[in-house]
Amino acid sequence: TSAPASNSTAHWRHLDAAHHLHPFSNTKSLNAEGVRVITHAAGSYIFDSEGNKILDGMSGLWCSSVGHGRHDIVDAISDQLKTLDYYNTFFKTTHPAAAELAAAIAEVAPAGMRHVFFTSGGSEAVDTVIRMVRHYWAAMGKPEKHIFIARRNAYHGSTVGGASLGGMKPMHAQGGLPIPGIVHVQQPYWWAEGGDMTPEAFGLHAAREVARAIDEAGAENVAAFIGEPIQGAGGVVIPPATYWPEVQKICRERDVLLVSDEVICGFGRTGEWFGCQYMGVAPDLITFAKGVTSGYFPLGGVIVGARVAEGFIEHGGEFNHGFTYSGHPGGCAAALANLRILHGEKLVERVKSEIGPYLQARWLKLAEHPLVGEARMVGLIGALELTPDKARRAKFAQEEGTVGLLCRDISFSEGLVMRAVRDGMILAPPFTLSFAEADLLADTAVRVLDRTY
């Protein structure tokens, strides 16, 4: 038989199966199934090699906030790379884009957060926090303050540090994690773990688990608490309103730093610039990535509040930490162009008061469907919690991968990407989603649920 044409799905599948190991994938079953080849994208849509047009309900991997195919960002990256393709920010050097981006981020950051450390992505940002926070406490004469409190089912990345802070058992099971010095506590996931409590009471209960963990370890040994304002990869877990303020109070009382992992929530996803603002808390450090460049170039970092920045700068000496691509010129140019779009098109405001409320109204109504136990959405991040029995908040048998199969089928038959996390169908569309596209999303969800029920 002759070899497949060099621009064919069969050709790419063949190369991929022969050589490409995919993240978070079972290579054997992926190769048997045949990987889907995405060839191009525009606006809210991605296109595959078989000619299918698919509504990108997940903004890529929670990152394509301003939508696909924005040539102004591409041109900014190109102009930057033609001028300065690369130079490092290590050895007493900076470059205009890095300096301008640090200032532009400080401008939109919560009050009092004026310093930024750059990384290539979210996992490196989380690892930076581990080292920076421990180094800060050591510089302040309290090296014994080293323990991190994190949550079960949290996702903080795939590096050894990030996956350790994360609370996902399947991740800990591979590679001998977590590293020492991390305590995991209950997540504020009312639907799954709230029992008979009201959401408000459960929010306080879950927060007090943080207090209990700190007190058990001894506050004098605890460096920081880290949490996503809304747990994204864990299934879009939106904590009850009582949770975050209580966690903040607990941390302040015990002199434990608060870290908000905003790799997903940062830069507008919740309708505020940062998810901590939506939750009404003021963290000491913020990690970011994804939405800072809308995914056009890999870039992440840590925004550092006044307290840590002062101690770190005054007493920290040299920080023995950094990445070759910390402040890569291309990433900085992408982020600056992305921020210009967010500001110029008022997209964060659009998420808060136009497209966000519009989609939420349709989404939250889906809770009336017999298969939907809970519909939740903040800004443009949401989930449908499917259940075979609403009253009991029952789970599907996980071996069947019920919701996973459903989501896969939707993307093929309905042209809509929604991701499955356990029994949840999750959604995080671009901020540029049109009203018609929001209707299409909701109509598709209704059609699929009706067909399934």
Q: Is 157 in the site for ligand PLP (CB under 6 A)?
A: yes
Residue whose C-beta lies closest to ligand PLP: 122
Name the β-bridge partners of 376.
383
Residue in this structure with the two tokens 């017999």, named with its chain if needed: 370
Least Å distance, CB 156 to ligand PLP, is 5
Q: How many residues of this chain bind ligand PLP (CB under 6 A)?
A: 16
Largest CA distance in the chain: 72
Nearer to ligand PLP, 203 or 266 (CB): 266
Q: What's the CA gap between 216 and 221, in Å, rounded?
A: 10
Q: What's the CA gap between 408 and 397, in Å, rounded?
A: 17
Q: Is 328 in the site for ligand PLP (CB under 6 A)?
A: no
Residue in this structure with the two tokens 């102009």, named with its chain if needed: 79
Q: Is 264 in the site for ligand PLP (CB under 6 A)?
A: yes
Q: What's the CA gap between 428 and 447, in Å, rounded?
A: 19
Q: Is 301 in the site for ligand PLP (CB under 6 A)?
A: no
Q: Is 266 in the site for ligand PLP (CB under 6 A)?
A: no
Q: Is 127 in the site for ligand PLP (CB under 6 A)?
A: no
Q: Is 186 in the site for ligand PLP (CB under 6 A)?
A: no
Least Å distance, CB 159 to ligand PLP, is 7
Applying the rule CB under 6 A, the residues between 210 and 229 that interact with ligand PLP are 228
Name which position in 57, 122, 283, 429 contacts ligand PLP (CB under 6 A). Answer: 122
39 by DSSP, 3-state: which? strand
Q: Is 233 in the site for ligand PLP (CB under 6 A)?
A: yes
Residue partners of 85: CB distance under 8 A and separation at least 6: 329, 330
Q: Is 206 in the site for ligand PLP (CB under 6 A)?
A: no
- Note whether 157 and 166 are within 8 A (CB): yes
Concatenating the DSSP letter of every residue in 293-344 gives TTTSS--EEEEEEHHHHHHHHHH--------TTTT-HHHHHHHHHHHHHHHH
Least Å distance, CB 291 to ligand PLP, is 11
Least Å distance, CB 442 to ligand PLP, is 25
Name which position in 117, 155, 244, 431 contacts ligand PLP (CB under 6 A). Answer: 155
Q: Is 263 in the site for ligand PLP (CB under 6 A)?
A: yes
User: Using CB under 6 A, which of the segments 105-113, 186-194, 202-210, 257-265 binds ligand PLP?
Assistant: 257-265
Nearer to ligand PLP, 426 or 449 (CB): 426
Closest CA to 285 of 265, 318, 257, 245: 257
User: Using CB under 6 A, which of the segments 129-137, 154-162, 271-279, 383-391 binds ligand PLP?
Assistant: 154-162
Closest CA to 208 of 160, 234, 173, 240: 240
Other Cβ atoms closer than 10 A to 36: 17
Q: What's the CA gap between 296 and 211, in Å, rounded?
A: 40
Closest CA to 239 of 387, 425, 376: 376
Least Å distance, CB 13 to ligand PLP, is 25
Name which position in 98, 126, 276, 342 contacts ligand PLP (CB under 6 A). Answer: 126
Q: Is 239 in the site for ligand PLP (CB under 6 A)?
A: no
User: Using CB under 6 A, which of the segments 150-158, 248-256, 275-283, 361-369 binds ligand PLP?
Assistant: 150-158
Nearer to ligand PLP, 55 or 126 (CB): 126
Applying the rule CB under 6 A, the residues between 158 and 177 that interact with ligand PLP are 162
Concatenating the DSSP letter of every residue in 361-402 gives HHHHHGGGSTTEEEEEEETTEEEEEE-S-TTTTPPPPGGGTH
Point out which residues bind ligand PLP (CB under 6 A): 121-123, 126, 155-157, 162, 228, 232-233, 261, 263-264, 289, 300
